[in-house]
Structure 1
């Protein structure tokens, strides 16, 4: 396990699953949560799952980190893919939880080599598919 400056460890499984998403496209998305002072995998989304399935996976009142493999077609008709990192921090979550996630985010993100875009969201509208599409192009 990697040890963070904030005292937050990153479970090896997080990096392993991320590499599988990036290299083999084994998953459409991965949700991560902080549990007992370490970041662990919370949920793996199958390659067949939609963006709606992804957004429905977030708890309403708890913070999460997530990565999403977004496929799209360019104006030149080329198939492309970008990996989004999403920091989910709903207004309804506890202040302490928001602080822990905020202070550990950059360190955790550095562990995942290959993230292309980042979104911060406090409610579902801030990570809508339209926003993701807009950022990807």
Structure 2
């Protein structure tokens, strides 16, 4: 399905959906949302682009295999849980928070980095599965 309307809409929706996914990611450690939902929205943005412009063009847009995001995200999530053990002799996955707020982000802590790791894993897994299925079809 490569219509002119879908191609035009996907060109505008890709950046909008990616910004929205980052918004959902950043709001997730205070309110509902977070890495999983934000990652799904980002993956949907690339799937929409692939539907409109073809899988080859979308892969060229990414410039790396989405499976690369899985170990990066897992490593980041694991390190965010391990940081309290190594640095503060606290139990694994204890929340650590900066004593001051960061502009735009608010309170930054280990939960945010865990969510970013989940975000990368979800994007990597989802796009790898969908791209693999699309290539074989």
Asked if Structure 1 and Structure 2 have the same fold, meaning a TM-score greater than 0.5 normalized by the shorter chain, the answer is: no
Larger Rg: 2
Q: TM-score, normalised by structure 1?
A: 0.26
Q: Which structure shows the bigger proportion of residues in helix conformation? A: 2
